[in-house]
Chains A and B, each alone.
Chain A
Amino acid sequence: MSKAGWIRLVVLVAFFGAVEALCRTGAISPKLIIAPSAMLGAMVKLLASGEMGDDIRQTLLSVAIAMGLSIVGGFGLGCVLYWLPPLRRAVDPFLAAYYSLPHFAFYPLLIVIFGLGALPLIVLATLFAMVAMTMATLTGLDRIPRVLIKTARMQRLSLPAEIWHIRLPAAAPHLFSGLKLAVTYSFIGVIAGEFILSTSGLGHQIAFAYDNFDNPTMYGLILFVLCIAIVFNLLVFAYERRLARQRGL
């Protein structure tokens, strides 16, 4: 591990150690924050009891579906906009402002269209995550070096062969960044939606525990959600490293 890596580890351990000590000595009231070790204990207990099983399944399934839809849909939309520059110029300001729009205001409308249940929330998270993939696809396609396109023409490739053998691999690093963002945003979309608007799912359970001053459950669940998000991010990160190594980087 690098020097920076060691220091980072020390900083993180020191931070959590300090919080732990402050909580254990009572300097921080358990009404505010409970000790990290207590959070971990609460999480383990919650998972072992199985009472959150349905919520966990529902949340993870929603996130997975939103991820899949947003990656495929975002990539498709990116390709369409790339091939139709006038359309792209028209939607450009909309895309740029997209992440400051109040997506959650459209939830009632989605309920009317898609009914009650998990579906409107999945659609909401998909809409939220998709545009990140679209923008990354556009960047990736824009940044393909022209000399590679010229090379494809000198190799007398057909358009499908050019797309498959040149354009997609050349755009791959950007596509992957978009994929990472779509994963993150699917998480944020589903959890935030459940938090504010839903009556089930992990996000809702956190909000419910907050409303009932049930700090152990709340912190246990928060820790669990953060752990899932971190594990997901690490998996994607590891895969990205492998891809980079395959390119000799």
Chain B
Amino acid sequence: MTAVRTLRGPLLLTASLLVAWQLLHQWAGDTALTAPLPTLEHLWTMIGQKRFVPHVTETGLAFLQALAIAWIAGVGVGVLLGGHRLSGEVAEPILVGLYSLPKITLYPVILLLFGLGMPAKVAFGALHGIIPVVLFTMSAVRNVNRTYLRAGRSMRLTPMQMAWRILIPATLPEIFSGLRIGFSLTLLGTMLGELFASQRGLGFLLMTAIDLNDVATILAIAVLISLFAVVANTILLAIDRRLRRGSAA
């Protein structure tokens, strides 16, 4: 019953998007926009083709590496900056400033430093994702309720127990929100990286299709990436909500 209730909205939305797509197709014609069903069929054929697999693997690997860097390094740096107040104060405006810059302008610099190929994509994806993770982690560590720490000390917890039983549960909800946003931005960064000066990957296929005006392929790839993004985000959001339910806020 509740599952039906929670799924009804997204299903309706998907349905109305498909209808809008079909109508737009009717209006704009096949050269601008292929219809939903043929696009999905095209996607299915593409997935079945051997030459498609290496591109997906390339993008997937680039994204996963970038995500690993953004998450692990982001939480690490965030914990350090959150724990050491002065460093945090020094770094925060710089990070916020970097966050709001159009990082795409820096992509040529990254290409020069890392060369064409996988490392540049990974670096660019991680560059997008790491800052929100650092900022959220820093804020979470900084704002741990002091009373929890006093309660922990009064129970004579060892530093290990303190970290495991108090600090991690207290900071996890906010850190996870940072990880979720970092996920989205890492994906954005990786894709942006593949769209420019790339020779492999979904972004490369997309750019080639744009150059060739191959509308069916453009839309098929867009649908594939969108599906991945929406599904992954929905799962992360569900975990996020579950974590927050257990916290006071």
Contact = CB atoms under 8 A, between A and B. Distances in A.
In the complex, are there CB atoms of A and B closer than 8 Å?
yes
Interface of A: 2-4, 7-8, 11-12, 31-33, 86, 89-94, 96-97, 99-102, 104-109, 112-113, 180, 184, 187-188, 191-192, 195-197, 203, 206-207, 209-210, 215, 218, 221-222, 225-226, 229-230, 233
B89 A4 contact: yes
Given A4-B89, A100-B233, A112 B102 contact: no
Contacts, number: 149
A233 B10 CA distance: 36
Chain B interface, DSSP helix/strand/loop, else mixed: helix
Nearest to B213: A108
A226 B106 CA distance: 9
Interface string B103-143: 11111110111000000000000000000000000000000
Contact of B10 (A3, A4, A90): A90
A196 B105 contact: no
Contacts of A184: 100, 102
Contacts of B28: 109, 112-113
Contact of A187 (B102, B108, B206): B102
A100 B190 CA distance: 10
Contacts of B225: 101-102, 105
29 contacts: A3-B86, A4-B86, A4-B89, A8-B93, A32-B112, A86-B9, A93-B13, A93-B233, A94-B10, A96-B233, A97-B230, A97-B232, A97-B234, A100-B184, A101-B226, A101-B229, A102-B206, A104-B206, A105-B221, A107-B210, A108-B218, A184-B102, A192-B102, A195-B104, A195-B107, A207-B196, A209-B108, A226-B102, A229-B101
A112 B32 contact: yes
A100 B213 contact: no
Contact of B113 (A8, A12, A32, A93): A32
Contacts of A218: 108
Interface of B: 8-10, 12-13, 28, 31-33, 86, 89-91, 93-94, 97, 100-109, 111-113, 183-185, 187-188, 191-192, 195-197, 206-207, 210, 213, 215, 218-219, 221-222, 225-226, 229-230, 232-234, 237
A191 B105 contact: yes
B195 A108 contact: no
Given A89-B9, A225-B102, A112 B33 contact: yes
Q: Which of B93, B104, B197, B232 has the most CB of A within 10 A?
A: B104
A113 B196 CA distance: 24
A113 B111 CA distance: 34
A33 B230 CA distance: 38
Q: Which of B12, B33, B108 has the most CB of A within 10 A?
A: B108
B237 A96 contact: yes
A160 to B, nearest CB: 30
B109 to A, nearest CB: 7
Contacts of A32: 112-113
Given A3-B86, A102-B206, A210-B108, A230 B97 contact: yes
B210 to A, nearest CB: 6
B90 A188 contact: no
A7 B92 CA distance: 12
B109 A33 contact: yes
Contact of A102 (B33, B109, B222): B222
A150 B171 CA distance: 34
A192 B192 contact: yes
Q: Which of A2, A105, A109 has the most CB of B within 10 A?
A: A105
Q: 3 smallest A-B Cβ distances: which pairs?
A: A105-B222, A112-B32, A90-B9
